[in-house]
């Protein structure tokens, strides 16, 4: 279970609104490579992992991603605070506003509601860890792209923190994959799946 602490993992204090930027950053809340998907993926993959160390990594990283999703919602909220309808229309944010006013709804930048079709829980340690490595890279690229589109130093400061965390996660998952692989019989690498013990 989780205990809520009333602080963000990294502070979000934005001086300016910017609905155009919010409309893009929202993909890291509800988009294909965003934090909601990441948290959901890791916190479920751990149930079919067998190695205790890897279960610990998935729990850690998954719990951290919950805090990242919170940060993204905070960014969106601050970037859209008190906007007038004219500001909303000028930014092309009217299509989002009509359905969500200034709430933070988990969708991609293109407006597609988050779907678990974006994530994999394969129940196989090697496949799941490869999935995790890919997820962290794709999130890193999304943050790269946000940095390419953003001029706001307050926003960029937070984004760079989040981006660096993805890189750290990638390294942790890389170690986890090597650790799991070492524990398998390499010749029969692909025939032996330690999370599924009852083979025919």
Q: Which of residues 97-116 bind its own copies (CB under 8 A)?
A: 97-116
In order of 56, 73, 177, the CA distances from 129 in angstroms are: 13, 27, 6
Q: What are phi and psi of 8, to 5 degrees?
A: -80, 150
Is position 90 an interface residue for its own copies (rule: CB under 8 A)?
Answer: no
Number of residues near its own copies (by CB under 8 A): 102
CB 132 within 8 A of CB 60: no
Judged by DSSP in three states, 187 sits in: coil
Would you tell me how many other CB atoms lie within 10 Å of the CB of residue 187?
8
| Nearest CB to its own copies, comparing residues 8 and 184 | 8
Site for its own copies in 70-89 (CB under 8 A): 70, 73-74, 76-77, 82-86, 88-89
What is the pattern of x (binds its own copies, CB under 8 A) and - over residues 36-75? x---x--xxx-xx----------xx--x--xx-xx--xx-
Is position 188 an interface residue for its own copies (rule: CB under 8 A)?
Answer: no
């Amino acid at each position: 279970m989780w205990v809520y602490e009333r602080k963000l993992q990294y502070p979000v204090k934005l001086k300016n609104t910017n609905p155009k930027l919010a409309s893009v950053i929202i993909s890291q809340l509800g988009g294909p490579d965003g934090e909601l998907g990441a948290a959901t993926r890791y916190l479920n993959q751990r149930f079919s992992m067998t190695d205790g160390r890897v279960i610990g990594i998935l729990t850690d990283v998954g719990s951290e991603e919950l805090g990242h999703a919170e940060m993204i919602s905070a960014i969106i909220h601050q970037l859209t605070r008190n906007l007038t309808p004219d500001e909303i229309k000028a930014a092309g944010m009217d299509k989002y506003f009509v359905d969500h006013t200034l709430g933070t709804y988990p969708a991609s930048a293109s407006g597609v509601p988050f779907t678990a079709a974006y994530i994999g829980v394969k129940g196989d340690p090697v496949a799941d860890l490869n999935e995790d490595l890919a997820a962290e890279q794709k999130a890193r690229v999304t943050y790269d792209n946000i940095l390419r589109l953003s001029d706001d130093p307050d926003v960029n400061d937070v984004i760079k923190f989040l981006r660096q965390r993805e890189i750290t996660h990638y390294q942790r998952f890389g170690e986890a994959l090597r650790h799991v692989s070492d524990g398998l019989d390499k010749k029969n690498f692909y025939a032996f799946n330690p999370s599924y013990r009852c083979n025919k």
